[in-house]
């Protein structure tokens, strides 16, 4: 008998259900007896022992379903060892639940903070296998995360829709794309959507260079310009500030996000009308695209194989285009950033797309 715990933590995204299905179907196929304990609302369920027994039937028909059947919540890693208002020692509580249920392994699906906590539990002696979930594609140790391609499709569709209204009115449009502190999602959606300017956190922008790119289009007879701006985009001036100084500036910013700040600066410098569109959480919603369904299924099966082989302490990953595994100790605490010198950036610049840096 194998007893497996499973939880989804952090922000939701497409293909969480598909990935869990991949794990469970593989285990049921390989084992005569297996019990699946689904913890509700992420690590919170493990801390407070809120779970439900799941059967094979619970994972039927969810391949195409977005969200997560287990629910999710954010439990900041930096607070994991800090007792809450109820005085609960979160780490000890999670270990207690794990041992009380006599689990053979805990399967964790989540992003960077989730992976750090998964590694913490590994260090505490629990058998853990994790899976890389995020639309940001910023998890170290894997070339691709599930949820990313679905979000690219949605963000690209938003940019596609802006093209017609931008052309009709002859305006500058900014589409603000999610991605937290990295630019993978903005970069891919910007290229796929035909954006004229792409601003990402890894390449601090000069607003004057952005304006120059817009004016160049206007002089060549183009009626509109579309900017794909990452929510974490940062100017060269702000990038030179200390972390404390930057946080203070953001706290006192007159505009709700960096996109609105950029819009105001462009309008002031060019006199052109600027509109901002924020697809927001639509990028994390809806059903997973076919690519993500395939990736999620393969990663889920790989996680199941690790459980069968008793290879704990790893994250199922994509390495050199193949499904592989990466040590949790290598994954935890490291962001996968866009390299400004990478070929994809150089190729994009060859097209004449501006990153606001030259």
Whether 348 contacts 213, CB under 8 Å: no
Q: Which of 224, 228, 214, 217 is nearest to 156 (CA)?
A: 228
Whether 94 contacts 122, CB under 8 Å: no
Q: Which of 32, 89, 104, 136 is catalytic?
A: 136
C-alpha span between 60 and 22 (Å, rounded)? 11
User: b/e string for 55-71 if b means 16 or more Cβ within 10 A?
Assistant: eeebbeebbebbbbbbb
What element of type H or E holds 67?
none
Extract the tokens encoding 268.
Answer: 């002031």
Q: Is 48 exposed, middle or buried (0-12, 13-18, 19+ CB in 10 A)?
A: middle
- Told to judge if 104 belongs to the known catalytic residues of this protein, a careful annotator would answer no
C-alpha span between 119 and 139 (Å, rounded)? 14
C-alpha span between 332 and 115 (Å, rounded)? 6
Which residues does 15 contact at the CB level (< 8 Å), separation at least 6?
66, 133, 146, 147, 150, 288, 292, 293, 295, 296
Measured CA to CA in angstroms, residue 49 lies from 93, 116, 125 at distances of 8, 20, 19
How many other C-beta atoms are found inside a 10 Å radius of the C-beta of residue 201? 21
- What's the 3-state SS for 176-226? EECCCCCCHHHHHHHHHHCCCEEECCCCCECHHHHHHHHHHHHHCCCCCEE
Active site residue ranges: 136
């Amino acid at each position: 008998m194998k007893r497996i715990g499973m939880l989804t933590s952090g922000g939701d995204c497409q293909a969480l259900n598909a990935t869990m299905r991949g794990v469970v179907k593989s285990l049921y196929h390989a084992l005569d007896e297996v019990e699946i304990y689904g913890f509700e609302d992420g690590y919170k369920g493990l801390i407070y022992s809120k779970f439900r027994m799941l059967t094979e039937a619970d994972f039927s028909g969810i391949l195409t379903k977005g969200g997560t059947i287990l629910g999710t919540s954010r439990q900041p890693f930096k607070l994991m060892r800090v007792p809450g208002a109820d005085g609960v020692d979160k780490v000890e509580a999670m270990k207690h639940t794990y041992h009380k249920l006599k689990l053979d392994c805990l399967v964790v699906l989540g992003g960077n903070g989730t992976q750090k906590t998964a590694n913490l539990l590994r260090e505490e002696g629990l058998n853990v296998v994790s899976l890389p979930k995020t639309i940001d594609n910023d998890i170290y140790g894997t070339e691709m995360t599930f949820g990313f391609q679905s979000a690219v499709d949605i963000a690209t569709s938003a940019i596609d829709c802006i093209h017609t209204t931008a052309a009709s009115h002859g305006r500058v449009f900014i589409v603000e794309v999610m991605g937290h502190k990295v630019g993978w999602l903005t970069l891919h959606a910007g290229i796929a959507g035909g954006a004229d300017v792409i601003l990402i956190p890894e390449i601090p922008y000069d607003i004057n260079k952005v304006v120059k790119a817009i004016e160049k289009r206007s002089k060549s007879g183009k009626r509109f310009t579309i900017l794909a701006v990452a929510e974490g985009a940062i100017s060269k001036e702000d990038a030179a500030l200390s972390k404390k100084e930057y946080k203070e500036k953001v706290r006192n910013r007159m505009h709700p996000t960096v996109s609105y700040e950029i819009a105001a600066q462009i309008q002031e410098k060019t006199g052109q009308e600027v509109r901002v569109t924020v697809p927001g959480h639509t990028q994390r919603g809806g059903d997973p695209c076919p690519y993500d369904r395939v990736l999620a299924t393969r990663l889920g099966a790989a996680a199941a194989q690790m459980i069968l082989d008793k290879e704990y302490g790893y994250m199922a990953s994509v390495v050199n285009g193949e499904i592989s595994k990466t040590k949790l100790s290598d994954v935890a605490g490291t962001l996968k950033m866009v390299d400004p010198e990478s070929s994809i950036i150089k190729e994009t610049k060859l097209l004449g797309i501006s990153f606001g840096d030259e």
